[in-house]
Amino acid sequence: MRFASCFVLVALVFGSVLPARAADPPQWALALHGGAGTISRDMDPALVASYRASLGAGLETGKKILARGGTSLEAVEAVVRFFEDDSLFNAGRGAVYTHEGTHELDAAIMDGSTLACGAVAAVTTVRNPVTLARLVMQKSRHVFLVGAGAESFGRSAGVDFVDPHYFDTRHRWEQLQKALEKDEYGTVGCVALDRHGNLAAATSTGGLTNKRFGRVGDVPILGAGTYANNRSCAVSGTGIGEQFIRHTVARDVAALMEYKGLGLEEAATLVVFTKLERGDGGLVAVSRTGEIAMVFNSTGMYRAAADSRGRSEVAIWEE
């Protein structure tokens, strides 16, 4: 007994004979994206700086909420609203033009703690579609509202409306003129884990440049471009929406974790690089233990991430 006591004492003093303690998981974590696709490294340096500054500002918006104990739902809505008000990104103020020269906006949000969710599509005068999506989730018995009906609900719920020309920007108009040769796409999104252990995801988009026939992509389709579940992870995708719908990308990542026991990075990489085709896009995700994954198979993806352990990064291309 005396020798055992001495061994314990030595172990306590020197520590080296005891197994190393694994690092504690982060108390909160956050990842966001501003779209993925063919992003040229020859982009004007001033524009690159603008994108990095906006991504950094969006990241700070979410960090402040999570650091003070706010919920993941609050954080993802606030971050996506920030990008919806920034004309650099294809959501809200910076939404691309349809073939007819108008704007049709889609958004979704999901609470991983309850699986409550809300989505809207083809709205034309709602300033912040992500907020309307959250109201659909919290103030109605529905999940998905479209077009004029979604806007009618928005008026009863008191969201901010704007004149359709609010969404007009010269940059996007020039994109429409070029889109006769090639469609362009983009999205903004955010995923978060809060101090309470809850996950949330939100995504918003103006869709494809030159889109026609009431086309709707993956963003407002829960399980395709947006998904959150406390049992696994929260995911927000960006890229060619039809592909994300076909492969139920967001839910697939979560299912691989939940049913096959894969880690977040492994699950995200498997889906993005084996189910999607090269150039289809990417995703950001956060697991229930605070892991962060930002995976894409396109030239670049506007993205940023942070957690309570001090991680903080902004990137566009593979660094």
In a domain, 9, yes or no: no
Tokens of 7: 């061994």
pLDDT of residue 179: 52
The CATH number that applies at residue 307 is: 3.60.20.30
- Give the residue numbers marked as catalytic: 187
Residues 75 and 65: beta-carbon distance below 8 Å: yes
Low-confidence ranges of the chain (pLDDT < 70): 1-22, 175-185
In a domain, 28, yes or no: no
pLDDT of residue 184: 59
pLDDT of residue 319: 74
pLDDT of residue 178: 66
In a domain, 309, yes or no: yes
In a domain, 132, yes or no: yes
0.85 cut: is pTM over it? yes
As for how many domains the chain has, the answer is: 1
In a domain, 7, yes or no: no
In a domain, 2, yes or no: no
Report the distance separating Cα 209 and Cα 238, nearest Å.
14
pLDDT tens-place string over residues 43-101: 899 999 999 999 999 999 999 999 999 999 999 999 999 999 999 999 999 999 899 98
pLDDT of residue 185: 66
In a domain, 12, yes or no: no
pLDDT of residue 217: 96
pLDDT of residue 177: 61
* 118: amino acid identity, one letter: G
In a domain, 180, yes or no: yes
**Residue-number span of the structural domain to which 240 is assigned:** 35-315
